[in-house]
């Protein structure tokens, strides 16, 4: 973990929220099929994997998933904030994924801690939303604004770096 901490340029903020992800493919494939018992016009649902976010930065997201991801995978992500009707939609590139054992349950389970470099949020490039706020003396972005809801957490002293 020491190597990883040294590569991080920006602060991480704790953000434990339910999320889902699926894979984005750069090839468009058209399939025609019918699932037995479904009506012809009903939409086909994409398989989305559940996960829990751990932390967030101006351009990154850390989360725990039940599936191992590969460096270079491109993901569609949805974060479900409490009391919000719509998820926050993001896209990102898997930078790393490593196994961890969850032992605070009756049965120990293997999970995968994963780090994603975010490229878009709600269809807009993340890099265009990064700015330095002189009033609060902090590097900020639309990613942090959307998930943390502004500077109130910082002002209340709840800023927390994770390594």
Q: Which CATH number is 81's domain given?
A: 2.40.10.220
pLDDT value at position 161? Answer: 43
Pull the structure tokens for residue 63. Answer: 């989360």
What pTM did the predictor assign? 0.75
Distance of CA 33 to the CA centre of its chain: 31
Burial class (CB in 10 A: 0-12, 13-18, 19+), 70: exposed
55: in domain:
yes
Question: Cα dist. 5→87, 126, 161 in Å?
Answer: 29, 22, 10
Provide the residue-wise pLDDT of the chain in tens; the chain has 163 residues: 444 554 667 889 999 999 999 987 654 555 555 555 555 555 555 688 999 999 999 999 999 998 889 999 999 999 999 888 999 999 999 999 999 877 776 666 788 999 999 999 999 999 999 998 888 788 889 999 999 875 555 554 544 444 3
39: in domain:
no
Q: How many domains does the chain have?
A: 1
pLDDT value at position 110? Answer: 80
Write the CB contacts of 86 (distance below 8 Å, at least 6 apart in sequence): none
30: in domain:
no
In whole angstroms, give the CA distance from residue 33 to residue 104.
43
7: in domain:
yes
pLDDT value at position 75? Answer: 96
State whether residue 60 is helix, strand or coil.
Answer: strand
9: in domain:
yes
Nearest to 91 by CA among 149, 23, 45, 146: 23
Quote the domain boundaries for residue 59.
2-25+46-155
Query: Within 13 Å and on the Cβ side, how many CA atoms surround 75?
Result: 36
pLDDT value at position 67? Answer: 87
161: in domain:
no
pLDDT value at position 126? Answer: 97
95: in domain:
yes
41: in domain:
no
């Amino acid at each position: 973990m020491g190597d990883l901490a040294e590569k991080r340029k920006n602060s991480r903020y704790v953000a434990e929220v339910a999320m889902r992800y699926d894979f984005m493919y750069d090839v468009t494939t058209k399939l025609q099929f019918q699932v037995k018992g479904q009506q012809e016009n009903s939409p086909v649902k994409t398989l989305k994997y559940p996960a829990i976010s751990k932390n967030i930065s101006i351009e990154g997201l850390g989360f725990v998933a039940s599936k191992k991801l590969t460096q270079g995978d491109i993901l569609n992500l949805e974060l479900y904030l409490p009391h919000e009707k719509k998820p926050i939609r993001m896209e990102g590139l898997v930078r790393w994924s490593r196994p961890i054992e969850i032992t605070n349950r009756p049965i120990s389970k293997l999970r995968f801690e994963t780090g994603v470099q975010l490229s878009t949020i709600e269809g807009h490039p993340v890099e265009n939303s990064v700015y330095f706020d002189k009033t609060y003396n902090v590097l900020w972005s639309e990613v942090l604004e959307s998930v943390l809801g502004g500077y109130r957490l910082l002002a209340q002293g709840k800023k927390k770096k994770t390594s």
